[in-house]
């Protein structure tokens, strides 16, 4: 007899995410009768989402039930699963920060205080779960998955599973090569935003040679002429293929777009590596387009929600999303086994990574739990140049957060590939911490010396 | 009954080093009757050193015996100890390299091929020892001690002990503070060229407060007015004290002068951090002075060696040096126990460092062997920002050397704080590898793609 569940969604105001979840629940017969509590700090969006969820469920004839609350405690009460999709600071705040970076000579990314606000939020949620519903699974669906899940699993005793979309990047390769997704078998372990495709199998055969052939025959033309279909269309860009040439494995999804500062120094360089017209998702050209697309969709949803005649099933469709949340819930609850791409504590799944670091690996999930597949070792060069530096950087960020040592933020700023001098990094960090909205962070981080002493180290 | 030993010295052409060794042997009664084989590829210097060693021994009335050879095999035959002080490339070659760096916009240090030549030399020596005198101790006295000793201990089964002078940096602090060296107890573990003074004890009391008082009362004046007594006089410079302020422990000897690129971007910056007139030992001003001093001493020695009336005991003195080689040989051979600062495989001496990484730690040495003192953990911030990045960098260098993967050299070049673009690093690396004297390295390192493919990634 399949079991229904009680799900608390933190940051439920995102209609796209929440309605996708509702849709997947409606289309998963096993979970019929489940109860979802939407929680958000924005009461208006919460109200709209809840209404739409009810309309969708009614249209499709499912018997899910919903509740809305601005109280996290209410959302967690008796929860079997908690999905956290909340982000602490907005797109608009990030735009302001980018303007400050620019005045100090940084393009797009600059000195900062790591994930201070998101870490606070994640730890608050995790500690509430520990207290209110200690047996619940937390499905962490907001960034930073890597750092945040590592932090939560170390600081609390709750069960955490982090999810991301990045691994679907192999779809893009398949589509470009004209391959049928359903005949592909792949594997891409690593840590979130740094995963490497160790296996790409088509009809049971290694399909990397097909990629090699494509690069050989079509790569150069593609890099000259391809116009990105979206801001994130970089999976076969010159920059990504360059990384493949260096490492022998493809970096997948978000992996090729982060790190390795020399791809990212300015818009021309980014276009060269990641293509026209955006230069990848992290540029002053791409980001507004991405945010605008999100807003267009949001407006479309808002209008539909205010129109009693609008069909929710038309707005959101009646096909399952490719999100993993609901299938994982069903696997854990009703033993409908599947293989998923999850972020969980390593415990030996990847060789050479500490046990208490959260890695992104395939896992078999059923009512026994989430059981990661031991993928063994990644190529040593990837470990030394990509994975281990990223892990060290994560550890550094967590320690800076834990201690509130401002000089660790300065150290991180100094180690940005765009920093030219001590003074530049120092000044940019000061300025960022002084920005409206960053008061708590500014209060949290302190230099390890008496106030004002830092001037001794600033040459006129 | 004390035992005499047979010592092979590789790179014995350095008169200062070799005669220091002879002096220490003469002044160590236990080792009377020992035999030293000097080996060098420069027959003239070898001849001069051997003659001086004989004269010194005669003057002082010791019964050491000597032999000279240009064959490493001869030097190793029946050796109880092998001292390797050889360097593969000269000061002058380094000057040429610096000129090339400069044309690509790098100050003093630029892209390169790591310690390719020294690694070759070290491995050759270590493998010869393994074959010819497998029970001998190798006392590695030439750079790179950290990387090289790690490499040799991993690749061969010989016993290796690396030595450096850096830890004597605490003498400088003591002198400046007017403290009596003999009443100081100190400890400064880490890895070679990255050691941190965890303990500074004077008459049994923590003496760090004395340093704090000095910094408070005299630091600012010192940084404005102090004129360096020598090129390496940076132990109390603004840059070193800055690191102390950041980490709560003093970096000792060579440690404050390496790494942390922002102290080293140009001569003005270096002077600001490391003082007038040299800006530390690694500047275009300091290095010629250092080399000139070495040569002056060399000429002085050469003249004396050609003057039959010159007293070797006047030239080299009759007090023991502060070198550790001979006391360590005596400790291992004749059980004259002592505590020394050595570079040996970690095996748990420093927490959080892999067992097979060579660390610099205090060790008790006697006829039981070299037994490192377990110093426990270093502050987490030092681990995350200094020690672990340096270890990762060492591992990266060893892997680049092992594989001959040129793109790993490129990666290292890209990660230099002075690099501004992919193209700059790429061009500088090409140019360095094309320099006369670097032919073998150029031959060893290859990109992991077909020849010429790299042009695909070079924007016009």
Chain B residues whose CB is inside 8 A of the A389 CB are 392
Q: Is the pLDDT of residue B122 over 80?
A: yes
Do the Cβ atoms of A246 and B456 come within 8 Å? no
A333 Cβ neighbours under 8 A, 6+ residues apart: A2, A3, A5, A30, A31, A80, A367
Do the Cβ atoms of B399 and A381 come within 8 Å? yes
**Cα separation, B201 vs B167, whole angstroms:** 15
Q: How many CB atoms lie within 10 A of CB A114?
A: 21
| Mutation for A interface: B236, B384, B409, most A CBs within 10 A | B384
Percent of chain B with pLDDT over 70: 100
8 A C-beta contact, residue A207 and residue A179: yes
ipTM: 0.95
pLDDT in tens, chain A (460 residues): 899 999 999 999 988 899 999 999 999 999 999 999 999 999 999 999 999 999 999 999 999 999 999 999 999 999 999 999 998 887 778 888 899 999 999 999 999 999 999 999 999 999 999 999 999 999 999 999 999 999 999 999 999 999 999 999 999 999 999 999 999 999 999 999 999 999 999 999 999 999 999 999 999 999 999 999 999 999 999 999 999 999 999 999 999 998 899 999 999 999 999 999 999 999 999 999 988 998 898 888 889 889 999 999 999 999 999 999 999 999 999 999 999 999 999 999 999 999 999 999 999 999 999 999 999 999 999 999 999 999 999 999 999 999 999 999 999 999 999 999 999 999 999 999 999 999 999 999 999 998 888 888 887 6
8 A C-beta contact, residue B343 and residue B149: yes
Is A389 an 8 Å CB contact of chain B? yes
Cα–Cα–Cα angle for A422, B397, B187, rounded to 5 degrees: 65
Do the Cβ atoms of B245 and A459 come within 8 Å? no
In terms of Cα–Cα distance, which of B148, B250, B272, B241 is closest to B194?
B250
In terms of Cα–Cα distance, which of B289, B271, B298 is closest to B45?
B298
Q: What is the pLDDT of residue A123?
A: 98
φ, ψ dihedrals at B159, nearest 5°: -90, 125
User: Across the strands, what pairs with B35?
Assistant: B6, B65
Q: What is the pLDDT of residue A89?
A: 80
Q: What is the pLDDT of residue B168?
A: 95
Q: Nearest C-alpha of chain A: how many angstroms from B395?
A: 8
Q: How many CB atoms lie within 10 A of CB B40?
A: 24
The torsion defined by the Cα of B136, B141, B144 and B148, in degrees rounded to 10, comes to: 0
In terms of Cα–Cα distance, which of A149, A132, A151, A131 is closest to A140?
A149
Number of alpha carbons in the 13 Å side-chain half-sphere of residue A402: 14
CA distances from residue A391 to A321, B144, B259 in whole angstroms, order as listed: 31, 27, 20
**Cα separation, B293 vs A3, whole angstroms:** 83
Annotated catalytic residue, options B165, B199, B284, B444:
B165
pLDDT range class, residue B93, cuts 50, 70, 90: confident
Interior/surface letters A240-276, b for 16+ CB within 10 angstroms, e for the rest: bbbbbbbbebbbbbbbbbbbbbbbbbebebbbbbbbe
Q: Is the pLDDT of residue B92 over 80?
A: no
Is A403 an 8 Å CB contact of chain B? yes
**Cα separation, A120 vs A116, whole angstroms:** 6
Do the Cβ atoms of B262 and A422 come within 8 Å? yes
Is B262 an 8 Å CB contact of chain A? yes
Q: Nearest C-alpha of chain A: how many angstroms from B396?
A: 6
Task: Nearest by CB to B408, from A261, A381, A392: name it.
Answer: A381
In terms of Cα–Cα distance, which of A105, A141, A109 is closest to A125?
A141
**Cα separation, B38 vs A249, whole angstroms:** 50
Provide the 8-state DSSP code for B261: G
- Total beta-carbon pairs less than 8 A apart between chain A and chain B: 86
Q: What is the pLDDT of residue B249?
A: 98
- Domain B164-283+337-403 CATH (choose: 3.40.50.300, 3.40.50.1220, 3.90.1820.10, 3.40.630.30): 3.90.1820.10
Averaged pLDDT for residues B353-377? 98
pLDDT range class, residue B259, cuts 50, 70, 90: confident
**Cα separation, B238 vs B386, whole angstroms:** 18
Chain B residues whose CB is inside 8 A of the A244 CB are none
Task: Nearest by CB to B448, from A246, A419, A420: name it.
Answer: A246
**What residues 201-240 of chain B have any CB closer than 8 A to a CB of chain A?**
219-220, 238
Averaged pLDDT for residues B387-410? 98
| Mutation for A interface: B276, B385, B419, most A CBs within 10 A | B385
Is A421 an 8 Å CB contact of chain B? yes
CATH architecture for the domain at A6-91+108-163+294-328: Alpha-Beta Complex (3.90)
CA distances from residue B401 to A249, A398, B344, B359 in whole angstroms, order as listed: 21, 33, 21, 20
Q: What is the pLDDT of residue B1?
A: 84
Q: Nearest C-alpha of chain A: how many angstroms from B175?
A: 24
Chain A residues whose CB is inside 8 A of the B397 CB are none
CATH code reported for the domain at B6-93+111-163: 3.40.50.720
Q: What is the pLDDT of residue A131?
A: 98
Annotated catalytic residue, options B80, B128, B147, B254:
B254
In terms of Cα–Cα distance, which of B103, B152, B164, B94 is closest to B125?
B152
Do the Cβ atoms of B384 and A403 come within 8 Å? no
**Cα separation, A454 vs A439, whole angstroms:** 20
Q: What is the pLDDT of residue B88?
A: 87
Sign, CA torsion B136/B142/B147/B151: negative
Q: What is the pLDDT of residue B454?
A: 85
Q: Where are the domains of chain A?
A: 6-91+108-163+294-328
Q: What is the pLDDT of residue A455?
A: 87
Query: Do B6-93+111-163 and B164-283+337-403 fold alike per CATH?
Result: no
Do the Cβ atoms of A245 and B395 come within 8 Å? no
Structure tokens at B272: 């600001």
Chain A residues whose CB is inside 8 A of the B261 CB are 414
φ, ψ dihedrals at A309, nearest 5°: -85, -15
In terms of Cα–Cα distance, which of B29, B156, B157, B20 is closest to B83?
B20
Query: Helix, strand or coil for residue A273?
Result: helix
Distance, CA of B222 to chain centre = 28
Task: Nearest by CB to B392, from A261, A263, A388: name it.
Answer: A388
Do the Cβ atoms of A449 and B248 come within 8 Å? no
Q: What is the pLDDT of residue A91?
A: 74
Chain B residues whose CB is inside 8 A of the A272 CB are 459
Query: Helix, strand or coil for residue A372?
Result: strand
């Amino acid at each position: 007899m399949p079991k229904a569940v009680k799900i608390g969604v933190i940051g439920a105001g995102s209609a796209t995410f929440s309605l996708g979840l509702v849709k997947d629940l409606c289309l998963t017969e096993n979970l019929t009768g489940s109860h979802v509590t939407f929680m958000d700090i924005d009461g208006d969006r919460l109200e709209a989402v809840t209404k739409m969820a009810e309309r969708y469920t009614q249209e499709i004839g499912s018997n899910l039930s919903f509740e809305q609350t601005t109280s996290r405690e209410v959302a967690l009460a008796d929860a079997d699963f908690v999905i956290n999709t909340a982000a602490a600071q907005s797109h608009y705040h990030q735009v302001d920060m980018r303007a400050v970076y620019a005045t100090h000579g940084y393009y797009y990314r600059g000195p900062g205080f790591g994930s201070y606000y998101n870490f606070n939020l994640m730890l608050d949620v995790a500690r509430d779960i520990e207290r209110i519903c200690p047996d619940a699974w937390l499905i962490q669906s907001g960034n930073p998955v890597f750092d945040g899940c590592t932090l939560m699993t170390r600081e609390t005793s709750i069960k955490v599973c982090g999810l991301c979309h990045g691994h679907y990047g192999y779809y893009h390769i398949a589509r470009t090569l004209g391959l049928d997704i359903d005949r592909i078998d792949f594997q891409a372990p690593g840590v979130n935003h740094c995963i490497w495709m160790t296996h790409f199998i088509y009809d049971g055969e290694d399909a990397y040679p097909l990629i090699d052939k494509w690069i050989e025959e079509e790569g150069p033309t593609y890099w000259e002429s391809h116009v990105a279909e979206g801001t994130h269309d970089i999976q076969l860009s010159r920059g990504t293929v360059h990384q493949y040439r260096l490492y022998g494995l493809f970096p997948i999804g978000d992996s090729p777009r982060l790190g390795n500062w020399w791809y990212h120094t300015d818009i021309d360089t980014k276009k060269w590596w990641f293509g026209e017209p955006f230069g990848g998702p992290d540029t002053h050209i791409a980001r507004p387009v991405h945010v605008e697309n999100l807003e267009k969709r949001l407006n479309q949803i808002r209008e539909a929600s205010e129109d009693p005649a609008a069909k929710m099933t038309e707005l959101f469709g009646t096909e399952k999303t490719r999100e993993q949340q609901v299938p994982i819930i069903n696997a854990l609850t009703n033993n409908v086994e599947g293989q998923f791409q999850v972020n969980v504590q390593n415990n030996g799944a990847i060789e050479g990574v500490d046990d208490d670091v959260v890695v992104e690996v395939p896992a078999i999930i059923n009512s026994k739990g989430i059981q990661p597949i031991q993928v063994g070792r990644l190529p040593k060069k990837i470990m030394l140049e990509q994975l281990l530096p990223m892990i060290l950087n994560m550890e550094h960020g967590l320690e800076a957060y834990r201690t509130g040592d401002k000089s660790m933020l300065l150290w991180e700023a100094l180690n940005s590939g765009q920093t030219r001098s001590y003074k530049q990094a120092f000044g940019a960090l000061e300025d960022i911490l002084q920005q409206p909205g960053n008061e708590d962070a500014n209060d949290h981080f302190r230099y390890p010396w008496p106030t004002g002493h830092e001037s001794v180290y600033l040459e006129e």
